[in-house]
Amino acid sequence: MTAEISIRNVSMEFPTPDGVKHVLNDISYDVNQHHFVSIVGPSGVGKTTLLRLLTGLMKPTSGEIQVHGERISGAPKGLAVVLQDYTRSLMPWLTIEKNIALPLRNQKLGKAETRERIESSLEEVGLSGTGGNYPWQMSGGMQQRASIARALAVRPTILVMDEPFASVDAQTRFDLEDLVLKVRADFGITTLMVTHDIDEAVYLSDEIVVLHGRPAGVRDVVVVDIPFPRSQIETRNDQRFTELRTHVYAMVRGLE
């Protein structure tokens, strides 16, 4: 398979008043094209730091990250991000359609194509007809759907998500998980997600990267050998789902 993201010997450290804080140590991993990969690990292990490195917001202390075969030195082309806090991600003074239109300004699209991108993205996430609403007029789940629609509107090849469902209730989380599976099936987007929810990681992923230690290294890469399509009921009741969840949880807690 073709590696869309290549992480090679990446280490990260930060200066502190007492010296240096070592966060990541010699991280190496390839994310294959069209795959869904979750990053899990204990709180504070460096998951979000790794995600920031992947988006070009920070540079590693050593090592390199390549996207589409090119070493990144800033935000990679074709990459979109969905954050945990949709209340900060969406501009409350803009309508949903104007929020979605924001990242399209740099693509120099005509009015007709911009409109088509907005409408098709809203339809993809089940929000057709809501473009004239303001974020504060919508539920949390609908706002996060709008954030996903905005990411889809730029037609990304890579989608990066940082705890995207942590701020919604359990039922909405399940609905959004299934939405992400639908988006993946429809667009074939390579997806990388940070999550604390082991069940969520197993349900969505092709592979799970387990970070552990201080500084953090790759403890293991777990292949999720559960066939697609997946279902909230059948998949979560599958014996293999339970085995994988237990195995990943044990590694996160340092029990294996």
Percent pLDDT > 90 in the chain is 73
Q: What is the mean pLDDT of residues 149-168?
A: 91
pLDDT digit string (tens) for 60-117?
999 999 998 889 888 888 899 998 777 778 999 999 999 999 999 888 889 999 999 9
Q: How confident is the model at residue 194 (pLDDT cuts 50, 70, 90)?
A: very high
Q: What is the mean pLDDT of residues 37-57?
A: 91
Tokens 């804080």 label which residue?
21
Q: What is the pTM of this model?
A: 0.91
Strand-pair partners of 221? 209
**Domain boundaries defined on the chain:** 1-78+190-256
Residue 121, CA distances (Å) to 62, 126, 138, 149 in order: 38, 9, 17, 5
Q: What is the mean pLDDT of the chain?
A: 92
How far separated are the first and last CA of the chain, in Å rounded?
Answer: 30
- Do the beta carbons of residue 104 and residue 156 sit within 8 Å? no
Looking at domain 1-78+190-256, its CATH architecture is 3-Layer(aba) Sandwich (3.40)
Q: How confident is the model at residue 1 (pLDDT cuts 50, 70, 90)?
A: low
